Structure 1
C-alpha cells in the first residue's frame, strides 16, 4: 500500500505570501474557518468516508491563487479578476504536484460553475466544467460559502439565508445545490 505524501499547507502558502503580511493572515484565518466548518460537515457523513486530512489541507490551500487577482479590498493587486483565483490556484498547485488539491481550487467558486454558464456569461476563466465532484470537494465548497474574506474584519460569517440569496442571483440551480448540501452537511 502506498503511503500518502504529507504536505504542509502553511509552508506552501509561505512560498507565495509573506508570512508577516496582513494578506497571509487573512488567507490563513479564512482557511482555518473553512477547514473547521468542512471537518464539521464531514463528521455528518462518515458513511461517505471523507478524507479528513485532505479536507483540512485543501481547505487551507483553496484560495492560494488570490494574490494573482485584483482585489484591493484584500490587499491583492494582481492582473486578473477575482473570479479567476480558483483556476489560478489550480495552476499553482498542479505545478508543485498537488493535483487533487488543485482541483479543489478550480471547483470551489460558487457551488461550482458549468462550462455552459462560463461560456454563456462570458466569464474570464477557462471554458470547462468547474464542478466539485468528490465528497471532499463538495464539503470544502459548501464550507467556503459561510466565510467571506475582508481586509477590515478579516473573516465575515455568512448566514444560510445570505448565501442562498447570493446564489439565487446566479440562478435557482445554484441555490438548490447549496440547499441539498445544507441537508447533507448542515
Structure 2
C-alpha cells in the first residue's frame, strides 16, 4: 500500500497541508509502533497500527483548515467521519474505523449530544487495542505550526482534554497506565 500516494491523491493541490498531515502522522505512527512493540503483545498487528496512524487524518483534506492550508468546506470536527468515508472507498474498512474513532479519546453519543456536534449520533470510540494505541499516540502531537515537531507532555494533554470534561481525562489516565509515556 502506498500511503503517501493515497494522501497526495486526496489532498490534491493542497500540497502544504498534505505535507503537514504526513509529518504529523509519521510522528504519531512512530510513537504508536514504539508503544505496541514495548507491550510485547504478539497479537498486536504492528503493520496495521503503522498504516492506520499514517492515514488517521486523511479526512482533514476536505476540511476548512486555513491554518494548515486546507481549502475544504467541512468543519474540522468532521475529519474523522470524512476519513472513514475516504478509506472505505479505498477498500480499507479497518483503517477507516480508526479515522472515525480517533478524535480526542473518542466521542460517545452523549458527547455528541451535549456538545451539539454536527456528527452522526453514534459512539465513535476506539474499541480494539490497536485503535486505542493510535488514538493515544495522536494525543501527543499537534498539526499546528511550531508545535508540529514537538511532543506534548502528559500534563499538556490532560489540560487540553479537561476542557471537554473530566471523563476524557479519566480515559487518558487509563491509557497512560496501559501504554506509558
The residue that corresponds to 1:53 in the other structure is 47
3-state secondary structure, aligned to 2:41: helix
| Equivalent of 1:96 in 85, 90, 98 | 90
More strand per residue: 1
Question: Do the aligned residues in 2 keep the contact of 1:90 with 1:105 (CA within 8 Å)?
Answer: yes
TM-score by length of 2: 0.93
The CA distance in 2 between the partners of 1:59 and 1:81, in whole Å, is: 21
RMSD: 1.6
Contact 2:14 2:71 in 1 (8 A): no
Q: Give the TM-score of the pair, scaled to structure 1.
A: 0.91
- Displacement of 1:154: 3.9
Q: Bigger shift: 106-115 or 16-25?
A: 16-25
Matched residue, 2:155: 161
Q: Trace 1:137-152 onto structure 2 (pairs within 5 A).
A: 137-151=131-145
Counterparts in 2 of 1:126-145, with a 5 A limit? Answer: 126-145=120-139
| Residue of structure 1 equivalent to 2:9 | 15
1:33-112 equivalent positions in 2, closer than 5 A: 33-47=27-41, 49-112=43-106
Counterpart position of 1:179: 173
Aligned residues: 180
* Residue 21 of structure 1: how far off its partner (Å): 2.1
The 8 Å contact of residues 37 and 143 in structure 1, kept in 2 or not, is answered as yes
Describe the shift of the 1:51–1:92 C-alpha distance in structure 2 as closer, same or farther (beyond 3 A).
Answer: same
